[in-house]
């Protein structure tokens, strides 16, 4: 498998990232262990999670995903085979949020404890914190790197202006640099990333590991009517795509998928992999069948005509 360098970092990653937000939500611990085993067996080793996953589930408090990964790591004894990414900054409890030095020191220890590891390969600011000076945040990251608790750092959900400002502070102050960006990016959510943000990432060589790569499952082709979405865990998230535009994108994916003897979701991921700015799109699966389909996307190389067809159908409106 062709590995890709994440930004200008020391990390070489496969072309797809496994999103572990489903652990403790739509995948229980047993299922999560099976998915992680299969992911590694397929030759992939990049995992992305966050401390806040999956606090939104009734009865959860956050940390569930990290805890499951930590138990799997302990059971398998394979930490050295993985590139492990997690995030901090979104509220975990009253007063526990943001990117201040004090909170970052607390949050990293909690994540390391849940993950049952001594270090995090890629530690990411989950959300910008305008109330904390950028230099304070980057200095705190410098301390974590010096202590051996973090290898590289990344940003998530940053605007182009704030990411550019952060990169400038890194250069001027000799502080760690955000080597990756995690934006929302898929064929039906192109507007937020394409433009100034994508241009900045290309110019500054910032790696991109976009989330919601399949738009909460819509681009897999399994939601073709409102009835398909009813009662599903992500049903409410795909409703906004159940329109002429969304169905037009699915039609283009269907046509290209037929040409490649593939599934629509595989083509949607292959389109992202082919994007020059993208390093490794994040995908999730809740069963082994879905996982096998996602893995297959890494072997598909779309030709220029197929990319143009998908581009035309998915152009932001």
Catalytic residues: 53
Q: Which residue intervals of 174-315 are DSSP H helices? A: 196-204, 226-229, 235-238, 244-260, 264-274, 288-296, 304-314
Here the tokens at position 17 are 């990232």
Of 116, 91, 121, the residue nearest 103 (C-alpha): 91
185: three-class secondary structure by DSSP: coil
| Antiparallel, parallel or unpaired: β 4-5 and 12-13 | antiparallel
Burial profile 180-193: b = 16 or more Cβ within 10 angstroms, e = fewer: bbbbbbbbbbbeeb
Residue 10 to residues 83, 182, 201, Cα–Cα distance (Å): 11, 18, 17
Contacts of 250 (CB under 8 A, 6+ apart): 218, 219, 221, 224, 264
Sign of the C-alpha dihedral computed for residues 117, 121, 126 and 132 taken in this order: positive
Sign of the C-alpha dihedral computed for residues 84, 90, 93 and 96 taken in this order: positive
């Amino acid at each position: 498998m062709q590995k890709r360098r994440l930004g200008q970092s020391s990390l070489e990653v496969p072309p797809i990232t496994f999103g572990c937000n489903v652990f403790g939500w739509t995948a229980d611990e047993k299922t999560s262990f099976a998915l992680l085993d299969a992911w590694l067996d397929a030759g992939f080793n990049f995992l992305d999670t966050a401390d806040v996953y999956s606090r939104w589930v009734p009865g959860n408090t956050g940390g569930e995903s990290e805890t499951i990964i930590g138990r799997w790591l302990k059971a398998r004894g394979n930490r050295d085979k993985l590139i492990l990414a997690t995030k901090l900054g979104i509220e975990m409890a009253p007063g526990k949020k943001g990117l201040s030095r004090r909170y970052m020191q607390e949050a990293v220890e909690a994540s390391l404890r849940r993950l049952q590891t001594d270090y995090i390969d890629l530690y990411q600011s989950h959300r910008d914190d305008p109330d904390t000076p950028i230099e304070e945040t980057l200095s705190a990251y410098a301390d974590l790197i010096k202590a051996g608790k973090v290898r590289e750092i990344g940003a998530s959900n940053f605007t182009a202006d704030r990411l550019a400002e952060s990169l400038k502070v890194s250069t001027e102050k000799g502080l760690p640099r955000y080597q990756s960006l995690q934006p929302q990016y898929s064929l039906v959510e192109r507007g937020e990333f394409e433009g100034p943000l994508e241009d900045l990432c290309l110019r500054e060589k910032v790696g991109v590991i976009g989330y919601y790569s399949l738009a909460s499952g819509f681009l897999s082709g399994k939601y073709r009517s409102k009835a398909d979405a009813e009662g599903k865990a992500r049903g409410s998230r795909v409703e906004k795509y159940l329109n002429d535009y969304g169905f037009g994108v699915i039609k283009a994916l269907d046509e290209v998928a037929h040409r490649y003897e593939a599934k629509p979701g595989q083509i949607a991921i292959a389109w992202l992999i082919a994007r020059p700015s993208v390093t490794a799109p994040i995908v999730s699966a809740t069963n082994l069948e879905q996982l096998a389909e996602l893995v297959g996307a890494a072997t598909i190389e779309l030709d220029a005509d197929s990319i143009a067809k998908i581009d035309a159908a998915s152009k932001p409106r």
